[in-house]
Amino acid sequence: MENLNFIDLTYTTAVILFLVGFVGGMVSGFIGSGGAFVLTPAMMSLGVPGVVAVASNMAHKFPKALVGAHKRNKYGQVDIKLGVVLGIFAEAGVLFGKHLMVGIKESFGAAGTNLYVSVVFVVVLGIVGSLVLRDAIKEKRGEATAKATTELPPLTRWVRSINIPWTMIYFKSMDARVSVLFLAPMGFATGLLAATIAVGGFIGVPAMMYFLGLPALIASATELVIAFVMGLGGTFFYALDGYVDIRLAMIILGGSLFGIQIGAIGTTYVKDYVVKFVMAAIMLLVLVSRFFYIPGYLSELGSIATMDTGTRGLLDGAGLGALAFALIFGATMILLALYKGMRDHRLAQAAAPAAAPAVPAAASAGAQLSPTGRFERFLVASDGSEFSAAAVREALSMAGKCGAQVHVMSLVATGVEHEALGESILKQELATAQAHLDGIAVQAKAAGVACETHLVQGNQIDREIVDLAERVNADVIVMGRRGRRGLARLMLGHATAQVIGLAHCNVLVVPRAAHVEGRHILVATDGSRFADAAAVTAGNLARVCGTPITVTSVHKPSYGPERRAEAEEAVARVVAHMQGQGTAAEGRVIDGDPAEAIATLARGQGADLIVTGSHGRTGLERVLLGSTSERILNETPCAVLVVKAA
Amino acid sequence: MSPSTPPKGSPWQSRALATTLILGAASAGLYFLLFLYADRFAAIAQATHEGHKLYALIPIAIAMVFSFVHGAFTGQFWDLLGLRAKK
């Protein structure tokens, strides 16, 4: 059995690989496609055989694709069925490609695979790089590169119109049936290219867009599923023959994950054509680099006259130099773009307050509802879904009554998982989100409410909401509720619960069907200072709105009679306080599970608002100790105001 | 720091720092082990090549673990340094 010829892992090699991974990651994040077209040639230039370079590259990519696909699926951008179907055919392509590579290696040695990989690189990068360069030049000149049309292209219409019995599959993302006979070659070609140069997306994404008519956003997200399926399979098939050098793969991954974020963030600071120029320049430089190596491989194989050592060294040196220049050029361009963009943005922001219109006058002191909960600035988070529509509706309605200002935010997700999300696609998503925010601003204007919109990019919705709430000094955060329960809540997290835990201000959670009309308020107390804060806020709300209020405490049957007496005393104390303030209040101590009992009582009383305190637990503490507030949120159909103690 | 850096004293700053440090330590530990057993990994690949096919699962498991741990760390790392997308 032959030796695999893995390279020796010295510290110098490790540092070079890490830096190459870092630049490859930056390029990936910046241009929105796999940086593997940089990584594979770079590994080969360090002496790694072509087959090992491709195999190791796949090994570092597939877990990233899994994480990316999972995250983007949460935003509804992934057609899992299409991804899996194409992924299965891509797997066949990978298997075929791998056999081709191994066959070439066994017949012609490492020089054979090196030549094969290099020629495919030259052809593919030549085609794709030229197209990207053409687009960049057109954009720079101000010519449109994409026609804004809602009509499907003729090719897509034809693909969707062909009905071949027993082969048709329905796909939700297209709302159409497509024959598997069209999908098979698409998937196969994607897999074959991935097994050859470790970048299948060059075929997969355009094929989904132009043949199937998928929007670029869905195509790039679905590509992540394909990348995972074929990457996992490809890695396994290559690993079965021992070709995956996991040491190299993980060092490259180490640098790549640092670089991706810089690249992805860089795109938000530059113009579209800059991204495309950088992408085209790197692709064409890598092409030139590979081109210099080809005569050497041909010489090794005996296809051309044997080359003397000096000439071979010169050509290999030129190839390595071109690759190094491509990497340094790419990294410099991206870092410069990022630095310049951030500096300009900072200067623009510093100048903004002087030019900005005055903030609308806040509500009068009389409209403030409580010393612990001023209601002058609302922050409402909206993602355009039916769940957040209720939050927007109630925020505008309540702000109208209180004379409060409303800040509306929408989040466009960015992060490592958006490696395959091209810059133009991101802008398309930003435009959609901005249009949604503009629609809310119009609604607010019609309702006579002062409204400011915020389009935020980030990868943690809870964190971005709390961050913005602090920046705009929000008194209340208003959120919708998705109703995730049980294990799913624990595993996937719950943005609302996290916001409640982290925010300094109060949080109003509005389920889809809830309407806060001031019919009846239910306040829950356990005698703690957190519950006292809730009681004070509820009392002030009830007094201003003239709403009757019920104060309740829940006694678990397993507790002793002393605890029941304490509960009765706590309720009586709060009721007395409210009656002293002139509010119609009654007290109820009920038996049962706190969350269930409060939800049942709210329904029985016809309450449209439950007010509760928060212990401010998050993370593991919340998982272990539980949160009554959060469980109330899951049990009740009415709005819940979670009051944060000062 | 970028203009979108969270205000000082924001509730997650110390939490984010702690998470970043823990994930960074875990990531550094994994890479230490990778270098420590570098020769062993090359030997495992050679053994797989020579017929011990079950060893093929080892690089897959390693790739998953590194990706999750190091990915979580790098995401937190840049965020903590204030490198965030333009708002």
- Domain map (residue ranges) of chain A: 11-343, 362-513, 514-646
pLDDT for the residue A357 = 41
Instruction: For A45-73, write each residue's pLDDT tens digit.
Output: 888 888 899 899 889 888 878 877 776 67
Per-residue pLDDT averaged across A553-563, rounded?
76
Query: Which residues lie across from A468 on neighbouring strands?
Result: none
Residue in chain A nearest B85 by alpha carbon: A265
Share of chain B above pLDDT 90, in %: 44
Enter the tokens of residue A302: 């005996």
Residues of B in Cβ contact (< 8 Å) with A458 = 84-85
- Fold (CATH) for A362-513: Rossmann fold (3.40.50)
Cβ proximity of A186 and A207 under 8 Å: yes
Q: Could you tell me how far CA A582 lies from the centroid of its own chain?
A: 50
- Cβ within 8 Å of residue A589, ≥6 positions away: A552, A553, A554, A555, A564, A567, A568, A571
**Residue A588 reports pLDDT greater than 50:** yes
Residues of B in Cβ contact (< 8 Å) with A415 = 75
- For A6-51, give the secondary structure using H, E and C: CCCCCHHHHHHHHHHHHHHHHHHHHHCCCCHHHHHHHHHHCCCCHH
Question: pTM to 2 decimals?
Answer: 0.61
Cβ within 8 Å, pair B87-A269: no
From residue A90, give the alpha-carbon distance in Å to each of A94, A96, A158, A223, A481: 6, 10, 23, 11, 39
Cβ proximity of A101 and A54 under 8 Å: yes
Cβ within 8 Å, pair B58-A246: yes
CB pairs below 8 Å between A and B: how many? Answer: 159
Chain B nearest CA to A439, separation (Å): 19
Q: Which residue has the tokens 């212990």?
A: A615
List the single residue in B15, B34, B85 with the smallest CB-CB distance to A457.
Answer: B85
Per-residue pLDDT averaged across A498-511, rounded?
80
Instruction: For A95-107, write each residue's pLDDT tens digit.
Output: 899 889 889 988 9
From residue A284, give the alpha-carbon distance in Å to each of A279, A281, A289, A488, B76: 9, 5, 9, 47, 34
List the single residue in A1, A59, A246 with the smallest CB-CB distance to B50.
Answer: A1
Cβ within 8 Å, pair B63-A235: yes
Closest CA to A62 of A251, A268, A230: A230
Cβ within 8 Å, pair B34-A250: yes
pLDDT bin (cut points 50, 70, 90) of residue A395 is: confident
Per-residue pLDDT averaged across A132-156, rounded?
70
pLDDT for the residue B5 = 46
Rounded distance, CA A628 to CA A609, Å?
A: 16
pLDDT for the residue A507 = 84
More confident residue, A556 or A404: A404
Chain A nearest CA to B28, separation (Å): 10
Residues of B in Cβ contact (< 8 Å) with A503 = 11
Cβ within 8 Å, pair A242-B63: no
Cβ proximity of B83 and A262 under 8 Å: yes
List the single residue in A232, A239, A257 with the smallest CB-CB distance to B74.
Answer: A257
Domains A362-513 and A514-646 share a fold: yes
The hierarchical CATH code for the domain A514-646 is 3.40.50.620
Q: Identity (one letter) of the amino acid at A515?
A: H
Rounded distance, CA A98 to CA A79, Å?
A: 27
Share of chain A above pLDDT 90, in %: 11
Q: Which helix (H) or strand (E) holds A8?
A: none
Residues of B in Cβ contact (< 8 Å) with A455 = 87
pLDDT for the residue A147 = 47
> Please, where are the H alpha helices in A549-627?
561-580, 594-605, 619-625
Residues of B in Cβ contact (< 8 Å) with A247 = 34, 38, 41-42
Positive or negative: CA dihedral A586, A587, A591, A594: positive
pLDDT bin (cut points 50, 70, 90) of residue A422 is: low
Domain ranges for chain B: 32-87
Query: Which residues lie across from A524 on neighbouring strands?
Result: A552
pLDDT bin (cut points 50, 70, 90) of residue A414 is: low
Rounded distance, CA A443 to CA A429, Å?
A: 22
**Residue A362 reports pLDDT greater than 60:** no
- Cβ within 8 Å of residue A110, ≥6 positions away: A5, A49, A50, A51
**Residue A328 reports pLDDT greater than 90:** no
Cβ within 8 Å, pair B41-A247: yes
pLDDT for the residue A370 = 38
Per-residue pLDDT of chain B (87 residues; tens, 9 = 90+): 343 444 455 555 677 788 889 999 999 999 999 999 999 999 999 999 888 889 999 999 999 999 889 988 887 888 788 776 664
Cβ within 8 Å, pair B34-A242: no
Cβ within 8 Å, pair B34-A236: no
Cβ proximity of A412 and A459 under 8 Å: no
pLDDT for the residue A1 = 55
**Residue A285 reports pLDDT greater than 70:** yes
List the single residue in B6, B75, B83 with the smallest CB-CB distance to A415.
Answer: B75
Residue in chain B nearest A501 by alpha carbon: B11
Query: How many beta carbons lie within 10 A of that of residue A438, not counting itself?
Result: 12
Cβ within 8 Å, pair B10-A454: no
Burial B50-66, CB ≥16 within 10 A → b, else e:
eeeeebbebbbebbbeb
pLDDT bin (cut points 50, 70, 90) of residue A84 is: very high
| Residue A320 backbone dihedrals phi, psi, to 5 degrees | -65, -40
Q: Which helix (H) or strand (E) holds A35?
A: none
- Picking from A102, A238, A342 by the largest number of B CB atoms within 10 A of its own CB, the best residue to mutate is A342
Residues of B in Cβ contact (< 8 Å) with A456 = 87
Rounded distance, CA A243 to CA A6, Å?
A: 9
Residue A578: half-sphere exposure toward Cβ, Cα within 13 Å? 33
Given the DSSP bridges, would you call strands A168-171 and A176-179 parallel, antiparallel or unpaired? Answer: antiparallel
pLDDT for the residue A359 = 39
Residues of A in Cβ contact (< 8 Å) with B41 = 245-247
Instruction: For A564-587, write each residue's pLDDT tens digit.
Output: 788 888 888 888 888 887 788 888
Rounded distance, CA A253 to CA B71, Å?
A: 9
**Residue A420 reports pLDDT greater than 80:** no
pLDDT for the residue B9 = 52
- Picking from A54, A456, A467, A507 by the largest number of B CB atoms within 10 A of its own CB, the best residue to mutate is A467
Per-residue pLDDT averaged across A118-141, rounded?
84
Given the DSSP bridges, would you call strands A549-555 and A476-480 parallel, antiparallel or unpaired? Answer: unpaired
Residues of B in Cβ contact (< 8 Å) with A245 = 41-42, 45
**Residue A472 reports pLDDT greater than 80:** yes
Enter the tokens of residue A445: 């204007």
List the single residue in A240, A463, A471 with the smallest CB-CB distance to B56.
Answer: A240
Q: Identity (one letter) of the amino acid at A543?
A: R
Q: Could you tell me how far CA A251 lies from the centroid of its own chain?
A: 25
What one-character DSSP code corresponds to residue A369?
-
Residue in chain A nearest B55 by alpha carbon: A240
- In the predicted model, what is the mean pLDDT of chain A? 79
Cβ within 8 Å, pair B86-A470: no
Instruction: For A176-195, write each residue's pLDDT tens digit.
Output: 899 999 999 999 999 998 88
